[in-house]
A and B are shown apart, each in its own frame.
Chain A
Amino acid sequence: MTMTEPASASPGPAAPAGPVTGAAPVAAPGPTRAARRLTKPPRRVSLRRVSLRRDRTGPRPPRPLPTGAQAATQSAAFMLAVVCLWVFVQLLLLGDLKHERSQDLLYDQFRTDVASATAPVGPVVPVGEPVALLRVPAIDLEQVVVEGTASGDLRAGPGHQRNTVLPGQDGTAVVMGRAATYGGPFSRITELQPGDVIEVVIAQGTREFRVLGVRRTGDPLPQPRTAGVARLVLASAEGEGRLGGLTPGEAVYVDAEAQEAFPAPPGRPGAVPAAEQVLAGETAVLPLLATCLTALVLATLTIISARQRWSTVQVWLLAAPVVAALAWATTEVLVRLLPNVM
């Protein structure tokens, strides 16, 4: 992944480009600015990089910048660090922020919908609309469930698989949620014990489900559902070992049943796209990702050319928010490419 490259290119090893080209200001605004720029680049390096241990004995001559293989290694390592850490931070911290905000908005929308009796009851609901409120007191979980289980939909919260009934309706409903990233709403569902209560509010009313058990690979499916019983399957992923919380690679399910079901409207779709299955990613976003990366590259080129003309502070004052927003947006798209319940 090299998409955050521009964010790091300028302050890093790309800096030497400044003095070299700046030394011959062909179209410089005026002689005074040109002169100032001639003396500036070295200072900039020391200010930005070594400001913590700024020497107290006065200015020292600049250290020559690394060249050749060393410069390449340095640049590559810097890029690697920035890209990896940015994505890491986005998945765990920024994603959490986004998830929290989405939940706040969805909760407001859903309670209004329920109160005004406009909440959807199926069978076909626009993707991303809130369809249910899920409460699990045992693990202190309260989430608004949205329609759709593609990776992008699950960023906002748990998602309802579109070819199943809504939770609480007569049939088997599947709700998927992320285990680690974007707030990890389903990170603790494996702690549920048989008999624990799952409370679901949908447009038709409230139903209390009792957990049947946690089911992993190889465990038998629960007994066939008897008619008139609502079944709910929570699907997520889990990891093993000490880093289990960060390595959700295996699908895990929690089955629950409510003895009384609401009627389910007919006409559900027969199947959902591959991208909405457990642990599937949306490969359809690749073109969008390419567009975002292109935008980042354009931003980089713009910054480089802008730095030929204006001061670093000016350029970064203007460019930083743009680059940050672009990087965020690009990572959001990248996340849609990743498995949905991780």
Chain B
Amino acid sequence: MRRAVATVVAAVLGAGTLGIGGLALGPAPAGGVEEPAARAKPAYAETRTLQRVFVRPDGSRQEFPAYDVTVTADQTTELRGRQRIRITWSGAQPSGGRASNPYGESGLAQEYPVVIMQCRGVDDPGPGEEQLRPETCWTASVAQRSQITRGNAESTWRHDLDADEADKVRVSGLDPLPSAEVCPSADLGDFSTRLTPFVAASGRTFPACQSDQMPPEAAVGAAFPPAELAAFTDLEGNGEVQFEVRSDVENESLGCNHEVACSVVVIPIVGLSCDAPSSPPSTGDQACRRTGRFTPGSGNFAGNGVDQAVSPGLWWSPSNWRHRFSIPISFGLPPDTCDVLDPRPPTGFYGTELLAQAALQWAPAYCLRKDRFKFQHNQMSDEAGFALMESGGGPAALVSSGHEQTGPDPVGYAPTAVTGFAVAYVADKPDNAGEVSTLRLTPRLVAKLLTQSYLGSDLGRGHPGIGDNPLSIIQDPEFVELNPGLPQINQEAGATLLSLSNESDVIHQLTEWVVADKDARDFIAGEADPWGMVVNPNYRDLQLPATSIPLLDDYVPETGNTCRQQNPAVYFNQLAAPVTALRKVSEAILDAHPNVQTRCEFEPDTGLFRIGRVPRQSFGARFMLGVVSLGDAARFGLRTAALQAEPGSFVSPDAASLAAAVQLMEPQGPTQPFVLDQQAVRRSTQAYPGTMVVYTAARMRNLSKADAATVAQFIRIATSDGQRQGPGNGELPAGFLPLRSSGPTAPLLAAARQTADAVAAQTPPAGSTPEEEGSEGPDPAGGGTSGGASGPAGPLDVPAAELPGEADEPASAPVTDPVEAGTEPVAMPATTPISSRVAGMLLPLLFLGGLLGTLVVATGRFFVRPPRAGLGR
């Protein structure tokens, strides 16, 4: 029977994986886009019948209505740490007493929720796999797994119909029971205690009787917020969550990785089944038969007590535990696989973070094959990566737009991946009605955020010139009109768009989209919007598009707050607090932890006031916005805002909208980048404005033979094998649009192949670079001999041409083989002419000038003499 179920699961799973493969942006930027209809078959789906049973004193069974619950999950294989998978269920018992925050300990005070947690091991383990048990399931707090010193009314697990006699004794769970030193409160008087210890991957058992007997990752204030939750089922019996899985990188004690099988366990709580009561029924018997004190759909924001028999706290009790759906999940290779398994030195490609998620999956497909090189993606700003590539510091750069060529060698661009950026958000509807699922943004709204024109809080009211502006985008009438149904309680995080502090092509394209809009341009130029909001005067006439957003404000609020008086700081900059990587933005949104640095408090240890980051936003009142990459948004299941294309139409990132934008891109010549004109986007109703192409940029001349072969190999593999969609090694993750030989991406693919050939042959195709004539000579600035400062004349070329022996790159042009250089002379280029007329003529001219001046003075003094005034007297 079990085998059959496993086979069915495997088949469903396989089909699901294929389904993902066929799906463009798949489960990805998902969030906002409504797609259940378009969704292919889920990776996991199972239906089970759950029923609560009471045994009457006479031994007959009193059966409750049965629930046919179906649980699905959208991805189960090749998961990465912190990835979020979508779990849906239907047919479950409606929940009551909804908590404001379902995660971790705060989700316990609910009735009939669906407990979802991550556990090590699987049901029906194969060889080398562990059996799933409550002891291997992760919870972030003691209260979620152990019941300590409970009275009779709160020890309902002792009356569980399915429990063994050993589990019904007063103190159970761990045999032998830990000593009183370890667990002082476990065994007290008449009270009942049930421990659900945690067995770590290392084999160590944590008794879980108090918080210091928990694994280190469950410490108070741990790095990651709890992922397990007790989710709410609506009145129709349906529910849905994005469940974050943790690998052993995030949670070593749980220890899930590509070798250790794990499961996501979903337990819809229908209530404990109770054994035959004593006569007369004891307090415990009555408590076990409780059916909840909250009506379905009601809220329990005050955190009042609930009936234990229908609460999520007893998920481990056998009659609940046997109702579990265990979704087997498997993890992909960890990010450091290549460092561990491949001793070869890596070949670093430098540049944009947009490719990060793809590189994570691509890298093992290179380093684990001996016929390929060891690919390493080093994230840095596009500009820095490009400069490094031009100077020979890296074989190739990964950039997402054309860059000005500064070196003498022509640079070819090969389209490698189509992705882009998104404005991701996390926002809760008022009254705990769930998450906001669509958000629309106009260029002017983004312009308001970027120019720090919202006040944040009353502290910003004193800012000269903009004291009447809304406090945050949440209260901006333009935003409210566009996105009705959002809460309007101000938050400081709503005054800013968390973005990058360093230069990036992403910011350039974002600002390009902003200024393509006349309303946004007018706003930045100082014109008030229809509701009277004006731009921050420090940002008036800000030059956009730009590759970074400067922090220009200088307003330090005057306040009576002692802490702020002792730490005077520019308030708006504390609100903006940009970060250095898009990944940090993604994680901030994932945790709903804004990077707003306005917390100002007294530190008792040092006796000083200090400024810091605000705490995580509380569930139910979350609101923050940030610029993220589409790859991250898909991986972490972030919701993404729809951006305005044609005025009035808002486009979310998905496969179709990326393809529509690619269709608008104009090629700039062979081996040159494509350009997306934002004006063209504004005439389209389908094109996503944040679509970007990541290019592999490499020199098409003077690249060493080995590097040229490596780069060409990368481009060819990345645009063929690397465009197969899926979560596995070498495949293209969600959030990317695959390049295909037909359809809108065909020109990109053709361009990539052409550039790969040009780089491999080290001969740029004709007409590929406009400045090719200028770069023909060894030194483009060689002609600048007039004038004192004769420009960057070529002396740098002198050592550069001679350096080759030291790096193992061959010399500039025609060097045949460095090894034989000693025996057979090679033809060397001629010394570059460098001269300076100033240097040549200055000294004689100075001397002549001095001589001339002296002569004239002397002549005037001694030969052209006016008559003496007094001679006539």
Contacts and interface: CB of A to CB of B under 8 A. Distances in A.
B821 A161 contact: no
A342 B836 contact: yes
A4 B793 CA distance: 32
Greatest chain A CB density within 10 A among B826, B828, B848, B860 is at B860
Given A221-B801, A223-B828, A278 B795 contact: yes
B835 A281 contact: no
Contact of B869 (A61, A92, A223): A61
A225 B857 contact: no
B792 A217 contact: no
Given A226-B821, A251-B795, A280 B790 contact: yes
A223 B826 contact: yes
Interface in B366-406: 391-393
A250 B799 contact: no
Contact of B849 (A66, A74, A81, A251): A81
Residues of A contacting B: mostly: loop
A338 B857 contact: no
A64 interface: yes
Interface in B812-866: 815, 818, 821-822, 825-857, 860-861, 864-866
A114 B285 CA distance: 90
B791 interface: yes
A250 B799 CA distance: 18
Contact of A235 (B795, B829, B838): B795
B706 interface: no
Given A172-B803, A280-B792, A250 B828 contact: no
Contacts of A227: 805-806
B871 interface: yes
A237 interface: yes
Contacts of A225: 802-806
A235 B854 CA distance: 36
B23 to A, nearest CB: 44
Given A220-B827, A235-B795, A249-B839, A64 B866 contact: yes
A278 B865 contact: no
A61 B826 CA distance: 83
Contact of B835 (A80, A171, A249): A249
Nearest to B806: A171
Interface stretch (A83-91, A100-108, A124-132, A287-295): A83-91
Nearest to A53: B862
7 contacts: A77-B853, A80-B852, A161-B799, A171-B806, A219-B831, A249-B835, A281-B788
Contacts of A49: 861
A275 B853 contact: no
B821 A224 contact: yes
A62 B873 CA distance: 12
Contacts of A278: 793, 795, 798, 834
Greatest chain B CB density within 10 A among A224, A247, A279, A283 is at A224
A337 B842 CA distance: 12
A202 B348 CA distance: 34
Interface string A210-236: 000001111111111111010101010
B844 A247 contact: yes
Nearest to A164: B799
Contacts of B789: 274-275, 280-283, 337, 339
A180 interface: yes
B796 interface: yes
Contact of A251 (B828, B834, B870): B834
Given A224-B804, A280-B793, A339 B836 contact: yes
B735 interface: no
Interface in A135-193: 161, 163-164, 170-174, 176, 180-181
B860 A77 contact: yes
Interface residues of B, number: 69
Contacts of A323: none
A88 B798 contact: no
Contacts, number: 240
A125 B847 CA distance: 38
7 closest residue pairs by CB, A with B:
A61-B870, A249-B840, A81-B853, A77-B856, A84-B849, A278-B795, A342-B839
Given A85-B853, A88-B843, 7 more contacts: A77-B853, A84-B848, A217-B831, A218-B831, A233-B799, A237-B839, A279-B836
Contacts of B831: 215-221, 253
Contacts of B845: 84
Greatest chain A CB density within 10 A among B793, B795, B835, B868 is at B795
Interface in A238-280: 239, 243, 246-251, 253, 264, 270-272, 274-275, 277-280
B860 A66 contact: yes
A82 interface: yes
Contact of A79 (B818, B839, B853): B853
Interface of B: 391-393, 788-796, 798-799, 801-806, 811, 815, 818, 821-822, 825-857, 860-861, 864-871, 873
A63 interface: yes
B409 to A, nearest CB: 14
B811 A217 contact: no
Contacts of B866: 63-64, 66
Contacts of B843: 88, 91-92, 180-181, 246-247, 342
B392 to A, nearest CB: 8
Given A66-B866, A223-B825, A277-B795, A81 B852 contact: yes
A279 B802 contact: no
A84 to B, nearest CB: 4
Nearest to B811: A224
Nearest to A178: B839
A62 B835 contact: no
Contacts of A85: 846, 850, 853-854
Contacts of A64: 866-869
Nearest to A227: B805
A282 B847 CA distance: 23
B839 A279 contact: yes
A161 B828 CA distance: 22
Nearest to A243: B844
A218 B391 contact: no
Given A61-B869, A62-B868, A337-B789, A74 B834 contact: no
A63 B865 contact: yes
B853 A84 contact: yes
Contact of A77 (B792, B821, B852, B870): B852
A276 B799 CA distance: 13
Contacts of B805: 224-227, 229
B873 A270 contact: no
Nearest to A250: B835
A36 interface: no
B788 A338 contact: yes
A328 interface: no
Interface in A10-62: 49, 60-62
A70 interface: yes
A80 to B, nearest CB: 4
B799 A82 contact: no
Greatest chain A CB density within 10 A among B794, B796, B834 is at B834
A310 interface: no
